[in-house]
A and B are shown apart, each in its own frame.
Chain A
Amino acid sequence: MKLDLLTSLYVFMLAAFIGFEVIRRVSPLLHTPLMSLTNALDAIAVVGAIILAGESHEHRALLAKVLGTIAIVAATSNIVGGFLITDRMLRMFKASGPRKQ
C-alpha cells in the first residue's frame, strides 16, 4: 500500500499527539522503564532492515545485503535487550501492602 507525502505527515502528526497525551500520563516513578520500552518499540525499524537485506537488488546488491544485515543485528539486540530489561525493572516495583502484613 503506497502512502503519499501528505498522508505520511498526517500519520506522523497524529501519532505525535497520541504520544504526548499517553506519555504525559506516565508516572515519573517509571521514567527509566519508559525509556527502555520506547527504545525496544523503536527497534521496529528492524522491518525495514529485513526487507533491505532480503530483497533482490539489481545493482549494489552486496551493499544492501551487508548494511541490511548489520542493521538487523543492531535492531534485534535492542528488541530483545529492551523488552528483557524493561520487564526486569517492572518486576521490582512492588507496593507496600502485602510486604508489611
Chain B
Amino acid sequence: MPTEHLIEATYLIATALFILSLKWLGSPTTARRGVFAGEIGMLLAVGGTLMYQGIVEYKWIAIALVLGSIIGVPLGKVAMTAVPQRTALSHAFGALCVTLVGTAEYYLRAPDVPPFMMGVLSMEVILGSLTFTGSLMAAGKLQEILPQRPITYKGQNVVNLGLLALAVVVAAALVRHPEKMQLFPVIVGIPLVFGVMMIIPIGGADMPTVISLLNSYAGLSAAAMGFVLQSKLLIIAGALDGASGFILSVNMSKAMNRSFTNVLFGAFGQEQASGAGLGSAQARSVRSATPEEAAAILAAANKVVIVPGYGMAVAQAQHKVRELYDALTKRGIDVRFGIHPVAGRMPGHMNVLLAEADIPYDKLLDMDEINCEFPQTDVALIIGANDVTNPAARSDHASPIFGMPILDVDKARTVMVIKRSMGAGFAGIENPLYYLDKTLMLFGDAKNFAGAIVRELAGGRE
C-alpha cells in the first residue's frame, strides 16, 4: 500500500512540474528552467512507475530504456536545419508508442470491453496510427527523401474522407460488438493508410500547419490512452500537448489566411504559375543591383529590417547573414529581423536558425511587432522569402493569397530582394513587389550574395 501512495505522489508532483515547465517556457529568460522542471518531472514519474509492484520482469524494460536512450541521443543532436524533420519523426515515435499500447490493451481486455472504454480505445489507435504514418511522410518530405511537391489526383478528397469515415464506422461497430476481434486490425490499418494519403497532397510551405496539427493529434491520442489506462498524469500531459499543437495550428492557419480543411484538402499551388503570370513577368522590367551597389545603399541607411524565409535555410545563409548583421551594427545601423509566422517549415523555425547564428533574440520581431516599423525603415532586405512579402495579398482580390497577413516590406524606403531568379514562389503566384520602382533585385545565391555584401562593407569607405 505505501508504495502505491508513493507512486501517486510522484505522479502528482510530475504533473505540477509539467505545467510549470510550460509556464516557464513562456519567456526566453526562464525557458531553460522549464526544461529542467520537465526533466525532473519525467524522472520522478518514470522512477515511480518502476516501483510499481505489479511489474514482475525488469529485463525487457531495462533493455528498452537503454535502447531508447541510445536512439534518443543522436535525435537530440541533429543540426538546427534538420529540426523540422526531427520534430515530425518524434511525433511519429510518440504516436507509435500510443498505438502499440492501445493495440495490446485491446487484445488483453477483449472480448469484455465496456462501450466507453472501446470508444476511447478506438480513438487512441485511430489517432495514433494516422499520426504515425502521417508524421513519417511529413518527415520524409522535409528530409527530401520524398518529393516536396504536392501530389494530387481527381477524387482525392473523396478517397481520403471515405477512408476516415470507414474507420469510424468500423470503430462504432466495435463499440457495439467489442468481441468481434477480427475488426480491430481494420481500425489500425485504415488510419495507417489514411495518414499516408493525407500528406501526399501537402506541399512544403504548408508544413508548419501540418506539423502543428500532427502535434495536436499526437497529444490527443496520448490523452485517449490516459482514459484507457485511467491515468490522470497521462490525460493531463496529453491534453497539454494537444492544446499546444492546436494553438500552433490555429496560429499557422491564420498566418496563411486558410482554414484547416483548406490546408488538408486544398493542395493549392502546383499549377497556378501558368501563362498569364509568366507573360507579364517578361513584359515588365525589374531593377537589379550588384553587391557593391547593395552595400552602398545599406551603408547609407539608418534602419534596416531583414526578412528571412525558407530560402535562407536552404542556402544555409544564416551565418553569412549574421556577419552582415555584425558589419551593419558596427557602423551604428539599427538592424532588426521581421519574421512571418509561417516563414520556414515549422513554427518558430527562423528564430532557431538565427539564434544559432548568434543573433540576439531581442532583434527577432514577429509580424505584428515589425509591421508598424516599415514606414520608418530605410532598407528592407528580403532573403529567401517570397509569398509572405507579396503586397497582392493586401490589394488584389483575385490573388489566391488575398487576405493573408503579410510583412509590409513595400512600405520601406528601399526594398532589396536576394533571389536566385525571377521564378515564382511556392504558391506559384507572381509577386508585384519585384516590379516596384523602389525595389532592387539582387540575383544570386543567398549565402554568396550576403557574403559579397559583407566583403564590400569591409573594404568600402565609411
Contacts and interface: CB of A to CB of B under 8 A. Distances in A.
Interface of A: 1-3, 5, 8, 11-12, 15-16, 18-20, 22-57, 59-60, 63-65, 67-97, 99
B55 A92 contact: no
Nearest to B43: A79
A81 B348 CA distance: 19
Contacts of B346: 31-32, 35
Contacts of A50: 46, 49-50, 52, 55, 61
Contact of A76 (B69, B246, B358): B69
B366 A28 contact: yes
Give the top 8 A-B pairs by smallest Cβ distance, nearest first.
A76-B68, A84-B76, A80-B72, A19-B243, A96-B360, A31-B348, A54-B55, A81-B75
Given A16-B242, A24-B247, A85-B76, A42 B237 contact: yes
A52 B231 CA distance: 13
Nearest to A42: B241
B91 interface: yes
B152 interface: no
Contacts of A54: 52, 54-58, 60-61
Contacts of B74: 81
Interface string B228-240: 0111111111111
Interface residues on B, range: 35 or more
Given A37-B35, A45-B94, A32 B72 contact: no
Interface in B23-69: 23, 25-29, 31-32, 34-35, 38-39, 41-42, 45-46, 49-50, 52, 54-58, 60-61, 63-65, 67-69
Nearest to A55: B54
25 contacts: A5-B116, A5-B227, A8-B235, A19-B240, A20-B247, A22-B22, A31-B248, A32-B347, A35-B212, A36-B83, A37-B34, A38-B241, A39-B241, A45-B225, A55-B55, A64-B107, A74-B94, A75-B93, A76-B69, A76-B71, A76-B72, A79-B68, A89-B355, A94-B355, A96-B362
Contacts of B54: 51, 54-56
A30 B98 CA distance: 27
A18 B19 contact: yes
Nearest to B252: A31
Contacts of B28: 27, 29-30, 90, 93, 95
Contacts of A1: 4, 8
A77 B230 CA distance: 24
A11 B103 CA distance: 24
Interface in B393-439: none
A23 B247 contact: yes
Contact of A30 (B93, B225, B351): B351
Contacts of A45: 94, 97-98, 101, 222, 225, 234, 237-238
A53 B60 contact: yes
A48 B229 contact: yes
B97 A33 contact: no
A77 B247 contact: no
Contacts, number: 370
Nearest to B93: A74
A36 to B, nearest CB: 6
Given A47-B233, A72-B65, A92-B355, A26 B26 contact: yes
B314 interface: no
Nearest to A96: B360
Nearest to B58: A54
A50 B235 CA distance: 17
B215 interface: yes
B18 to A, nearest CB: 5
Given A2-B230, A83-B39, A71 B26 contact: no
Contact of A44 (B96, B211, B233): B233
A76 B32 contact: no
A84 B68 contact: no
A5 to B, nearest CB: 6
Contact of B35 (A23, A90, A93, A94): A90
A31 B238 CA distance: 18
Contacts of A42: 94, 218-219, 222, 237-238, 241
B78 A85 contact: yes
A38 B245 contact: yes
Given A23-B244, A39-B241, A52-B104, A85 B75 contact: yes
A35 B348 CA distance: 9
Nearest to B55: A54
B38 A94 contact: no
B297 interface: no
B341 A51 contact: no
B385 interface: no
B122 interface: no
B461 interface: no
A78 B90 contact: yes
